[in-house]
Structure 1
């Protein structure tokens, strides 16, 4: 009888542990999100899509005061939103630090007036963070970039707000319209300026 009681007790303890683990299991190894503003969102999507561990990217708008804005509204510069790329990733495969590296190397972080040929606050650079660890890592990386470039960094680090996906024709634009995308990227001077900022220290 004592053995039976001990067996039941151990079974109960094990069941409790399994229940507790299952409550936290979704958070472990689950996909998480990161959101970056780097000027034209067409040009920010492709670099992240190439990263192993990134499971999805969605272009859209964040940081403004208008509910569910349209592209035309955001492009006017009157909604307060920035064009952003929302990255869904598996932190077991790719780290947030690595995402930050990709972000920095694809923007001109010293430009406070926009990015490349796109001017205005809707094209500002920003890192939208979802929790304290992301905020700390972003802050540390910004300091490192400032030291590396020996210049003040214009990129904002702010808490993420509601994300509004852009219209469907903006999603995966580079894949859908490769010629137009390459022409836009070249004519906007994006790669030329990126080489000026980062080329000597790649």
Structure 2
């Protein structure tokens, strides 16, 4: 987030933060499923992208990589906690592999930007892959090297040790498809969250930058 604290997203959510909505409970997942934790800027966008992928059963928005226990959205976006907005991707490895997910991840972000993503600036919007299992670390390294070669530019997205993942507040989950309305926001009065999300994503320039960077290789940009 920039020094004035006035990103599109923080303004849009000002009223929601005040409501103090409770955290979402994690649903049960099949034992044969695996998870991948990534940070790609706005977690609404990462969730919306990867829930389109066949074999992905759920994407949970949350916070990881910082020092504060049980951080809130307000804590994280204010800065100083070290947390990233992150997404925990639950997937069936019989339908989609971690290598495929990592390939798509790099091509859904701007991995050359160390200061945030698109209009969202600051530590909470940095990109990263969180992994401790040696197989996942190796897959992430290979995917990063391959993406760097394909892009022809230095990639700054780090591969970091997996840490505690804290689920974000309930109102963040499935934000991109929610029909609940926001009383007031920077994109209008009484608009659906799904509408607010689309306006935010377009206004933030995410798809335009990804398209300019990756062209036809971008998996989630029309």
Alignment TM class, shorter chain as reference: 0.7 to 0.9
The residue number in structure 1 matching 2:128 is: 126
The residue number in structure 2 matching 1:139 is: 141
Q: Secondary structure at the match of 1:36?
A: strand
2:95 maps to 1:97: no
Runs (4+) off by over 3 Å: none
- Alignment TM-score, normalising by the size of structure 1: 0.83
Per-residue deviation at 1:130?
3.8
Unaligned 5+ segments in structure 2 are: 1-30, 179-192
The residue number in structure 1 matching 2:200 is: 184
Residue-by-residue CA offset, 1:46-104 (whole Å, 9 max, x unaligned): 11111121111100000000000000000011100000010111111110011112211
Structure with greater helix percent = 1
Cα RMSD between the aligned structures?
1.2
Distance 1:148 1:96 in 2: 19
Distance 1:142 1:116 in 2: 20
Unaligned 5+ segments in structure 1 are: 1-28
Per-residue deviation at 1:193?
0.4
Q: Secondary structure at the match of 1:85?
A: strand
- Bigger Rg, which one: 1
- Alignment TM-score, normalising by the size of structure 2: 0.76
Paired residue total: 174
Distance 2:195 2:95 in 1: 32
